[in-house]
Amino acid sequence: MAIKVKLREKKITGNRKSLYLDFYPAIPHTKTGEPTRREFLQMYLIEKAKNPFDKQHNKETLQFAEQIRQKRENHLNKPEIYTGYELEQKRIKELGEQNFVDYFKTLAEKRKASNHDNWVSALKYLTAFTKGNLKFADLNEKFCNDFKDYLLTTKSNKRSVTKLAQNSAVSYFNKLKATLKQAYKDGYLATDLNAKIKPVKPAETWRNFLTIEELNNLIKIECRNPLLKRAALFSALTGLRFSDIKNLVWGELEYIENNGYFIRFKQQKTKGVEVMPISEQAYSLLGERAEPTDKVLNGLTYSAYENKHLYQWIGAAGITKDITFHCFRHTFATLQLSNGTDIYTVSKMLGHRELKTTQIYAKIIDKTKREAADKIKLDF
- Predicted confidence (pLDDT) per residue in 140-156, tens digit: 999 999 999 999 999 98
Q: Which residues contact 139 (CB under 8 A, 6 or more apart)?
A: 100, 180, 189, 193
Which pLDDT value is given to residue 32?
A: 79
For the chain, give every domain's residue range: 4-82, 100-196, 212-373
For 149-220, strand residue ranges (E) read none
- Which residue type is seen at 81? I
Residues of the chain with pLDDT under 70: 1, 79-92, 113-114, 158-161, 204-206, 265-274, 363-380
Half-sphere exposure of residue 188: CA atoms within 13 angstroms, side-chain side: 23
DSSP state of 165: P
Which pLDDT value is given to residue 161?
A: 65
Which pLDDT value is given to residue 280?
A: 92
Q: In whole angstroms, what is the distance from residue 136 CA to residue 138 CA?
A: 5
Q: Which residues contact 373 (CB under 8 A, 6 or more apart)?
A: none
Q: In whole angstroms, what is the distance from residue 211 CA to residue 214 CA?
A: 5
Half-sphere exposure of residue 192: CA atoms within 13 angstroms, side-chain side: 6
Q: In whole angstroms, what is the distance from residue 263 CA to residue 248 CA?
A: 9
- Report the DSSP pairing between strands 253-256 and 260-266: antiparallel
- Which residue type is seen at 245? I
Which pLDDT value is given to residue 301?
A: 85
Q: In whole angstroms, what is the distance from residue 170 CA to residue 167 CA?
A: 5
Angle, alpha carbons 293-295-299 (nearest 5°): 145
Q: What is the CATH number of domain 212-373?
A: 1.10.443.10
Which pLDDT value is given to residue 114?
A: 54
- Which residue type is seen at 75? H
Domain 100-196's class? mainly alpha
The values of phi and psi at residue 366, to 5°, are: -60, -45
